[in-house]
Homo-oligomer: A and B are copies of this chain.
Amino acid sequence: MSLSNIMFNKCLSFVGLVSFVSFAAAAPPSSVPQTAQEMGLMVGSPPKKTIDIAKWDKGPYNRWAFQHMSEIVPTAVISRGMQPRTEFVSAPVESITQLKFTTLDDQELTVEENLKLNYTDSFIVLKGGKVVLEKYYNGMGPETRHLLMSVSKSVTGAVIGSLIEAGELSPDNKVVDYIPELKNSPGFKDATVRQILDMTTAIQFSEDYADPNAEVVKHEEATAWRGQTSTAKDGLYAFAQEIQRVERNHGEVFHYASINTDILGWLIERATGERFSDYMSNIVWSKLGAERDALLSVDLLGSPVVNGGFVMTTRDLARFGQMILQGGHFNGQQIVPKEWIEDIRMNGNNAAWKPTSYSKIWPDGFYRSQWYVTKDDQGSFFGVGVNGQHLWINPTTNVVIVKFSSYPISADVKRGKQDWAMMDAIARSLK
């Protein structure tokens, strides 16, 4: 595996200090990226420049596609129900945009500069549940839904909590106890629900996009993200049954592999007998006072692509984040069990995290139930997705931040770190 492959590994699961060093000398992005409109993407009737469906999630196509996901892939509706929406109080803190922060590779930028330069589509900061900053770019607005990519994993890891607290799913059981079909999968047949949740399954799953034989390539085909291929027609769960084992014990190393999350989606559907989109609506979305129905990418058989396929407004993800910050209590009710969120924040396995390069930034951290928990002095924890999707929570200063972006390259480590540094600095500044 080449250095660049390691560095551009999907979802920032890069390995080793090299990735820091190699970028230290790079200049910060110095030009403001063009909007989809400025590039003429999907402008005209019929449009002259259409989206290359094989590359919709890469630049420049993703500048348009991430805001138009229901035109790109099949999506199920996650209903907000019929209740009134929860209203945000606005309490602008103008100084945030001029806040200077130092990126992890020692560049100094203001928040405003970074937002303009770093392919931002939207950005919102909540302090104590109030909106202190809200910005939109690239044709986006508060009404626009945007793809979450792997922030979807953290959403999934939270919403499964109700089933686990209710005893409908036990983390200690094997996944085959709920999904007998996974007996066919060498990778998953001995894995427990907890190992799936924490991505410590010892499965053969490369997220190296540069390798056409990498499992991630066929995985994306299976999700219908690459069109109606024969793999897509067999569906996501047929693919899951093919996953192979590597020579390591389950449970020992945090090995980021998106297919784990899709197994969680399958577990939820099996445990409830409901479609994931209906479960999510009943258990969370109809209680949150969400402004809008969310969408969820589904494969060609209707199975949920929970590893990366949620689509929602910036404010609705902020509502979700605020609910998590508040220990699962929001809009006058307990939505996700408090114990589940405490477990996420407290009970991870640092030993499994140590071999990853995350430990160079957050040595005491861990990955628990699909959340990155930094164990920094603020107790910050977060979700992150390729191309710059972020949900950052600082429980010390009571800050929730959402950033939706359309970085041109999937796992752009430099851009990702730059956004982490910005969000951390903003959260710390709002004492």
Contacts and interface: CB of A to CB of B under 8 A. Distances in A.
A70 B309 CA distance: 14
Contact of A303 (B45, B68, B79, B142): B45
A46 B303 contact: yes
A194 interface: no
A82 B143 contact: yes
Interface stretch (A290-298, A364-372, A401-409): A290-298
Interface string A194-237: 00000000000000000000000000000000011000000101
B76 A68 contact: yes
Nearest to A50: B301
B82 A76 contact: no
A310 to B, nearest CB: 14
**Residue picked from A79, A143, A270, A303, most chain B C-beta under 10 Å:** A143
B143 A70 contact: no
Interface in A18-73: 42, 45-47, 50-51, 68, 70-72
Contact of A237 (B46, B269, B302): B46
Interface in A111-158: 142-145
Interface in A254-278: 266, 269-270, 275
Most central of A72, A75, A298 by chain B CB within 10 Å: A75
A172 to B, nearest CB: 22
Contacts of A70: 70, 74-77, 295
A81 interface: yes
Interface string A272-288: 00010000000000000
Contacts of A301: 46-47, 50
A224 to B, nearest CB: 10
A233 to B, nearest CB: 10
A302 B71 contact: yes
Contacts of A145: 77
A387 to B, nearest CB: 20
B269 A45 contact: yes
A56 to B, nearest CB: 12
Given A70-B75, A81-B143, A143-B82, A293 B295 contact: no
Contacts of A143: 79-82, 293
A76 B144 CA distance: 12
Given A45-B270, A46-B303, A228-B227, A298 B76 contact: no
Interface in A289-322: 292-293, 295, 298, 301-303
Contact of A302 (B47, B142, B293, B295): B47
Nearest to A142: B82
B77 A302 contact: no
When A and B form their complex, which 9 residue pairs have the shortest distance between CB atoms, in order from nearest? A45-B269, A46-B301, A71-B74, A70-B75, A79-B143, A70-B70, A46-B303, A46-B237, A228-B228
7 contacts: A46-B237, A70-B70, A71-B75, A71-B76, A81-B143, A227-B228, A292-B292
Given A45-B237, A45-B269, A71-B298, 17 more contacts: A42-B275, A45-B270, A45-B275, A45-B303, A46-B301, A47-B302, A50-B302, A70-B70, A70-B75, A70-B76, A70-B77, A71-B75, A80-B143, A82-B143, A228-B228, A292-B292, A292-B293
